[in-house]
Chain A
Amino acid sequence: MGAFHSVPDDHQYRILSEKTGFSLEQTEILHNRFKQLSHNSDVLRRDDLNTIPDLACNPIRSQIVEAFFDRRNFQKDGNGPVQEIGFEEFLIVMSYFRPPSVHMTEEQREELRRAKLRCKNASTILKVLFNMHDTDNDGTITLEEYRHVVEELLSRSGSLGKETAKGIADAAMLEVASMSMGRMGPDEFYAGITFEHFLKILKGIEIETRMHIRFLNMDTTLLCK
């Protein structure tokens, strides 16, 4: 964490680029952005992200910001939140949203690896999403946590907020329960959405094709504040 000097050399860029799959240009652009956000320091704090003006209207801002500071998202078996992240962590979290096939060449061997990577990618991004909702890291999204998500999603739409959110979350949870457990006995309870069930309910959405954004090779950082 924070192992990066403010001016990393080419070599370090290359290592990162290989690790995350971003191209060198993209890595550099993202590093510029990182410096811009962190006000030229080596580490990024929550406040740095929270103050991005474009983000202000995003209803689930806190969860997304939290994803950047969640140890689960950049360490093998890490756990719990961190206070600040370095550029490497920033890049790793970003790389989940990278379209899978950008840096690969056309060769057959690469093709095969790509297929593998895409699979891995798809599940890792789902894992990130799952972690986003599973705030207490117990492996399930409980009703409380789910309600919280829906509540935040609806928070922009004013008065209806809480009550509706609860209703929707409850109904959604029931749906998951009925989808994943089938028929339940009278004294069975559905504790929460596990990762397997999470994958199951999102099967209908083609996550690989949807959860990506285009990272440009051009530097547009100056355009946005």
Chain B
Amino acid sequence: MLRVVGLWGEVSAEDHEDGGASHHGGGYKIVQWEWSYVQTPYIIAIWLLVASVAKILFHFSQRFTTVVPESCVLILLGLVLGAVVLIANKKQLYQLDPGLFFLFLLPTIVGDAGYFMPSRLFFDNLGAILMYAVVGTLWNAFCTGFCLYGVKLAGVIDDKVQAGLMEFLLFGALISAVDPVAVLAVFEEVHVNEMLFIIVFGESLLNDAVTVVLYKVYISFVEVGPGNVQTADYFKGVASFLVVSIGGTMVGLIFAVILAFITRFTKKVRIIEPLFIFLLVYLAYLTAELFSLSAILSMTFCGIGCNKYVEANISQKSRTTVKYTMKTLASIAETIIFIFLGISAVDKSKWAWDTGLIACTLIFIFVFRAMGVVGQTWILNKFRLVPLEKIDQVVMSYGGLRGAVAFALVVLLDGEQVKAKDYFVATTIVVVFFTVMFQGLTIKPLVKWLKVPRSTNRKPTINEEIHERAFDHILAAIEDIAGLNGYHHWRDKWEQFDKNYLSKLLLRKSVYHKSELWEAYQKINIRDAISVIDQGGNILTSARLSLPSMASRTSFPEVTNVTNYLRENGSGVCLDLQVIDTNPGAKVEEETETHHVLAGNLYKPRRRYQSHYSRHFMTVGDQERQEREVFQRNMRNRLESFKSTHYKRHKKDRSQKKARAQLHLSQLLLLLTSRVKPTNTQLRLGMTQAELVLKREGCSEENKGERSEPDKDEDVGITFVARKGSETPKERPKSVPAALEVCQSPSVAPPSPTCGEKNLPWKGGIGTLPPCVSVEATKIIPIDLQQAWNQSISSLESLASPPVPQEPQHPRVSFQFPGGKEEEEESALSQQQQEMQPLMPSLRPPPPPPSGWCVGKLKLCSLMGL
């Protein structure tokens, strides 16, 4: 921050006098003016505030924003502010300080870009990106430099511009690099297709190494004088390029590995996870800078490299934190950069205008950019499967924006060595303004006019995810069969390496076994859950809550999205209710439907007390609990509502037989609250949980008086879970007596999750859930059994939160409503449930081929009535 102090040094000197005067006032002052103390952070904060407010104001006008890119407005704002300061002070106090820019502003933007870089797209187009970044930048730099020198010799540029060949080459080097900040700012608003974006943006990031090396080489050449440059120096330049670029990349990758490895162990300290990410990504930048390697490359590759592992390791909340913080920082840094560019332009001491130089530079950079792009694309298209069309080339040429990097580099020049510095600064400012403002302003209409394929902001569907993955494998396989060692072959090899070694090292064990497809699937589900919450706001009105007799789904509110409609009311497709082949009486049917309506519309009541506070853990908020609930419900709907006609036939005969056989069984199993897993051992596990729950029930019956207190019941409500497990019929007879014995057994099982529960494959995800829930529960049992009962339920609930995708053949219905609130309903419901018992098995017909058949189970958590 020292640089910042320097930046505002002018101001501090003035205000120091005021501050000093106030201190000499003598005696004790109640209020003191401590400006000099807070000055620096204060001014920074004010600047940030101004920039942010400017953004808000700017986004007020919808029509304006669609036409004018933000960067233009910010530069204009900067110009105005600069003019104000200039008029007030007669001297420009602020300018974009290169140190501030390179150490603080640029890394925030690059860090954001690198971390959120779509890596697949990036590597798919890496060849083109590298080509444009290295060859293109070299071409631009040399051509611009030489031609400017030629023009100078021809006399177009004024004689006052004292510059030789080396100076012009230096200038060409710094002016030719496409700027990541400007490209991001403009292209993010244009929404060209992803491939085009990644090529231009990737180029702007990767050309940093070229720029850095050229800049340094030429500066050293200028210092020693052009006459003293030896041939060896050129080779040193080439070697330096390799060191700077490869070294930068390596530093980045090393930090990526370190970062990924660290996040593997942050399970207990979730709260500082984001900090690690910021620190290490920033350290990658600084370290590269320390060894004068390419810092941008380092940071970019650190971001790209660590993203996959870090995102998998850290918790969902940390992910959100990282995302928002990075975006906020990048956005504010961008704003400051553009405002300061504007301010810096208003400084008459720096201006040294030469029309010839400026005009020639503008023409050259534009012409050579276009020529370079066309030439390189011609070569690239010989190798690319997807050729770059003419339209793409136009956009790429036109999108070669220059920005703050060039400006910062030119300001860094030593005025003693480079006599024409002032001219170069002025030219750079004009070039930057021209590209950002004029090209930035016109690129949108151009893209529209050329009908460049735009990017769709659509998230991939599950099917697309599945098929894309399949495509990769198919293509790799075809290459293998055809005996070609092509791109897909190597990518496949890399993925295997990653899977076998890297991921093992860098990913948590719990995450390692999850496939990416599963991740994608879960993401889609969470998205759906959120959209259901968003849309379901109206479903959850109190009117609906008090409608136990609401019978038909026709009264469901219209949901605009068809998909959601289907998911919301599984009944729309073919809900279990419609496919049962036994013919239940009309009354029973209505009642069962009521249950489903309740299940679909009631959420678990909120817990009133959230006593847990810790600096290190974050408790599950109500919001999250509800989201999870919605997620589960949503999943249940999804899975349930899909049934192929194929099964219909099987169901008929089977379910009828089963219905009879199951009658008594279901009554016995009625009391099981456990989530029974398909395998035998897991079944036993289920029994222990049942034991636990039954015990609790016994207790709660003892405490019946207590039970009626609404406070305590708040959590419980009625939990009604109908499920089918896929035990084989042989197992069941064994399990039933077990359950009966369990009923009598007096032992109290601790309500904490059994180890079996923890070992279940899908329990890995539990890591993200706070451990405090179960801890809380165990703590409380001895004190108040009733409460413990509540807790154990909730802990079981929370433990079981992610399994839904894993047990897709166990559709689950659970509905709860506050028991204390509606006592009458409760009893009515339990009656209904009793009536329904015989129905239950047939309600949930089994998926015939895979797993034999199923047991319908009712879980009545507060089954005191029975």
Which residue of A is nearest B807, CB measured? A163
Chain B residues with CB under 8 Å of A211's CB are 471, 474-475
Closest Cβ–Cβ distance, residue B255 to chain A (whole Å): 28
Interface contact B642-A55, CB-CB below 8 Å:
no
Looking at chain B, what size class is its interface with the partner chain?
Answer: 35 or more
Closest Cβ–Cβ distance, residue B193 to chain A (whole Å): 10
Interface contact A213-B484, CB-CB below 8 Å:
yes
Interface contact B386-A170, CB-CB below 8 Å:
no
Closest Cβ–Cβ distance, residue A182 to chain B (whole Å): 6
For the complex, count residues of A whose C-beta is within 8 A of B.
74
B242: Cβ under 8 A from any A Cβ = no
Interface contact A186-B574, CB-CB below 8 Å:
yes
B496: Cβ under 8 A from any A Cβ = yes
B59: Cβ under 8 A from any A Cβ = no
Q: Within the complex, which residue of A59, A164, A175, A189 is in contact with B643, where a contact is CB–CB below 8 Å?
A: A189
| Given A142-B646, A168-B805, A213:B478 Cβ within 8 A | yes
Closest Cβ–Cβ distance, residue A6 to chain B (whole Å): 17
Whole-angstrom CA separation of A77 from B468 in the bound complex: 28
B806: Cβ under 8 A from any A Cβ = yes
Interface contact B521-A52, CB-CB below 8 Å:
no
Interface segment among B111-119, B172-180, B560-568: the answer is B560-568
Interface string of A66-100 (1 = CB under 8 A from B): 00100000000000000000000000001001010
Interface contact B573-A30, CB-CB below 8 Å:
no
Q: Within the complex, which residue of B480, B488, B644 is in contact with A55, where a contact is CB–CB below 8 Å?
A: B480
Interface contact B473-A159, CB-CB below 8 Å:
no
Which residue of B is nearest A33, CB measured? B483
Chain B binding site: helix, strand, loop or mixed by DSSP?
helix
Which residue of A is nearest B642, CB measured? A174
Interface contact A170-B642, CB-CB below 8 Å:
yes
Interface contact A57-B463, CB-CB below 8 Å:
no
A216: Cβ under 8 A from any B Cβ = yes
Interface string of A123-151 (1 = CB under 8 A from B): 00000010010000000001110000110
A49: Cβ under 8 A from any B Cβ = yes
Interface contact A168-B521, CB-CB below 8 Å:
yes
Interface string of A47-64 (1 = CB under 8 A from B): 001001011011111001
Q: Within the complex, which residue of A59, A159, A191 is in contact with B761, where a contact is CB–CB below 8 Å?
A: A159
Chain B residues with CB under 8 Å of A132's CB are 474
Query: Which residues of chain B from 842 to 866 have a CB within 8 Å of any chain A CB?
Result: 849
| Given A61-B477, A183-B566, A190-B573, A172:B463 Cβ within 8 A | yes
A41: Cβ under 8 A from any B Cβ = no
Chain A residues with CB under 8 Å of B489's CB are 54
A201: Cβ under 8 A from any B Cβ = yes
Q: Within the complex, which residue of B458, B483, B804 is in contact with A224, where a contact is CB–CB below 8 Å?
A: B483
Most buried by A among B483, B642, B805, B849: B483
Interface contact A184-B466, CB-CB below 8 Å:
no
Interface contact B462-A215, CB-CB below 8 Å:
no
A214: Cβ under 8 A from any B Cβ = yes
Closest Cβ–Cβ distance, residue A44 to chain B (whole Å): 10
B460: Cβ under 8 A from any A Cβ = yes
Most buried by B among A37, A60, A61, A191: A60
Interface segment among A13-21, A114-122, A202-210: the answer is A202-210
Query: Which residues of chain B from 552 to 599 have a CB within 8 Å of any chain A CB?
Result: 562-563, 565-567, 571-575, 578
Chain A residues with CB under 8 Å of B521's CB are 164, 167-168, 171
Interface segment among B78-86, B510-518, B538-546: the answer is B510-518
In the A-B complex, list the 5 residue pairs whose CB atoms are closest, starting with the nearest: A157-B515, A167-B805, A167-B808, A189-B645, A54-B480
